[in-house]
Structure 1
Amino acid sequence: MGITSGSLFRIGELAKAARISERTIDYYTKLGLISPEKRTLKNYRLYSNETLSTLERINQLKQEKYTLDEIKERLDRWKSVSDDTEMTEKLTKLEIQMKQLERDVKELNPLLSELKPSQAREVLANILPKGAACIESIQILLNHFTSM
């Protein structure tokens, strides 16, 4: 059964598609992390495909050890910026990657200090071009927003 972008899910279908329990969906709905698109005449909640994307982002953020309160804050922040699901997914992914990078750098610092100077130079020579490209990308974003 293919699901098109216009499809609406009943709670059981959403739970199956997101690979989480119906109880978790109820809990996230009560917390305001997700909300039904509409209700049927029999009062069944119907959720959109965007809700499935939001559940995937919630799962990613949970794996990165964000609390549900922090996740709600981030989702609210991205929603206030744009209703574009693709953009909010990319912003969430970027935030997760930056958090992971921050952790990796903290873990590397003590290890780098134990290297011989020639080894440290070699490591940095391999990392610097990619790091510079990353910094340049962030500068492009910052310049775009500061010029508005």
Structure 2
Amino acid sequence: MRKGPMEAQRLYRIGELSSLAGINSRTIDYYTSLGLLTPAKRSTGNYRLYDDETLSRIRRIEQLKAQKFSLEEIREQFASLNQVAADEAVARKLSELQTHLAQLEREVKELEPVLEQLKPRQARKLFQAITPQTAACVEALLLLLGKSNFM
């Protein structure tokens, strides 16, 4: 996990990283070219700078290689881990939406007694005002659900 802005992040040039990881700097170049590693940033002199997360990732790559995984298999594993992170973000957003919908449902239920006391003409006028927005919202939700694997 990347460190927050308040925490100092240790950055390493490729030579330092190779010493810490116990692998050749050319191997780090190769892993970077394969997309297994990504520099955290570049220095003012345009040197690639790597962080502690990269060091952990190199160690993980070396462990997987020792278990006879190919570099392609390792790259696929890392890609699926990145997908899980994206899936978690979607799940979190859907959870927020579900909470918001539950809140709206409670608010509508609170309005029911008030709406029942309206005269028919007042109720019709009120519903005509909110119907386009409500219909658009319901349609958007149906489209979202239709694109998902939920149903």
* Shift in CA distance, 19/38, structure 1 to aligned 2, threshold 3 Å: same
1:135 is aligned to none
Aligned length: 80
1:48 is aligned to 51
Structure 2 gaps of 5+ residues are: 1-6, 87-151
1:57 is aligned to 60
Give deviations 1:75-113, integer Å, cap 9, x for gaps: 111122138xxxxxxxxxxxxxxxxxxxxxxxxxxxxxx
TM-score, structure 1 as length reference: 0.51
Give deviations 1:39-60, integer Å, cap 9, x for gaps: 0111100001000010011001
Instruction: Return the letter of the residue paired with 2:26.
Output: R
Q: Are positions 1:14 and 2:10 aligned together? A: no
Q: Are positions 1:33 and 2:44 aligned together? A: no
Deviation at 1:5, TM superposition (A): 7.1
TM-score, structure 2 as length reference: 0.50
Alignment of 1:54-93 (within 5 A): 54-82=57-85
Q: What is the rounded CA distance, in whole Å, between the counterparts of 2:62 and 2:10 in structure 1?
A: 21
Instruction: Return the letter of the residue paired with 1:26.
Output: D
Q: What is the rounded CA distance, in whole Å, between the counterparts of 2:74 and 2:40 in structure 1?
A: 20
* Shift in CA distance, 57/5, structure 1 to aligned 2, threshold 3 Å: farther
* Percent identity of paired positions between Structure 1 and Structure 2: 51
Task: Name segments (4+ residues, structure 1) moved above 4 Å.
Answer: none
Q: What is the rounded CA distance, in whole Å, between the counterparts of 1:35 and 1:5 in structure 2?
A: 19
Q: What is the rounded CA distance, in whole Å, between the counterparts of 1:70 and 1:25 in structure 2?
A: 17
